[in-house]
Amino acid sequence: MTPFGARLRQLRQARGVEQKEMAAALGVSASYLSALEHGRRGKPTWVMIQKIIGYFNVIWDEADDLQRLAEISDPRVVIDTTNLAPEATALANHLAAQIRTLSPERIAAMQTVLDKPAKATSK
């Protein structure tokens, strides 16, 4: 499941809406909506995000949050390390090989490290 898919499902269930009902209102199939929630589809288009925002009648921060979650919800990520240091390529490959074995706690710890701003190097 992607971050966007998890939030979409949470919104839908909180409002007591069935996938079939929501899909019809959005003009998509229930199977597409299910695949979007489960991360079997890539991130939704801007137009689809806007339809979902309108469907749930969310505003401001919640709408921004849905758009942000969509941006980080591509389940098939490609990391281009062309022209980067060999260590960057090794890291990308190591992560690709190990991602399925990492615990949620380990992933959260790694995310915390990656979210920290890089320290400025003193000259």
Output the pLDDT for position 31: 96
92-116 pLDDT, tens digit each: 999 999 999 999 999 999 999 988 8
Q: How far apart are CA 63 and CA 45, in angstroms?
A: 14
Q: What is the pLDDT confidence band of residue 6, given thresholds at 50, 70 and 90? A: very high
Output the pLDDT for position 120: 54
Lookup: tokens for 64:
């921004």
Backbone angles phi, psi at 82, to 5 degrees: -55, 135
Q: How far apart are CA 121 and CA 123, in angstroms?
A: 6
- Mean pLDDT of the region 37-54: 92
Cβ atoms within 10 A of the Cβ of 100, count?
A: 6
82-98 pLDDT, tens digit each: 999 999 999 999 999 99
What is the pTM (predicted TM-score) of this model?
0.73
67-85 pLDDT, tens digit each: 999 998 888 888 999 999 9
Output the pLDDT for position 108: 93
3-71 belongs to which CATH class?
mainly alpha
Q: How far apart are CA 72 and CA 96, in angstroms?
A: 17
- pLDDT > 60? residue 123: no
Closest to 11 in 3D by CA, of 33, 43, 28: 33
Three-class SS state of 25 = helix
Closest to 1 in 3D by CA, of 104, 91, 113: 104
21-44 pLDDT, tens digit each: 999 999 999 999 999 999 898 889
